[in-house]
Amino acid sequence: MQTGFNLGYKLGVTLLLPCGELRGTLSALVTWCQVHGCDPSTCTRLGELLTSVAQCEDGIVKSLPSIHQIPHPSDLSSALEDVDFISCSTASNVGPCNAGQNCCSNQESPSTSLLGCRTTQQISNIMKQELGQILRDTIAVAEQINLSEDLLSYLHALKTKYSLF
pLDDT in tens, 94-152: 333 334 444 444 344 333 456 554 688 888 899 999 999 999 999 999 999 989 999 99
Tell me the average pLDDT of the chain.
78
Listed in sequence order, the residues at least 6 apart from 147 whose beta carbon sits closer than 8 Å to its beta carbon are: 29, 32
Which DSSP string corresponds to 30-89? HHHHHHTT--HHHHHHHHHHHHHHHHHHHHHHHHGGGB-----HHHHHHHHHHTT-----
pLDDT at 63: 86
pLDDT at 145: 92
pLDDT at 114: 61
- Which of the residue ranges 19-23, 60-64, 105-109 would you say has the lowest mean pLDDT? 105-109
Listed in sequence order, the residues at least 6 apart from 5 whose beta carbon sits closer than 8 Å to its beta carbon are: none
CB 42 within 8 A of CB 34: no
Query: Which pTM does this prediction carry?
Result: 0.69
Using alpha carbons, list the distances in angstroms from residue 92 to 82, 98, 102, 160: 24, 9, 17, 46
| Domains in the chain: boundaries | 2-85+114-161
Q: pLDDT at residue 89 above 60?
A: no
Taking each helix axis as running N to C, give the angle between helix 120-144 and helix 40-63, from 0 to 180 degrees, rounded to the nearest 10.
170
- For range 68-88, the mean pLDDT: 55
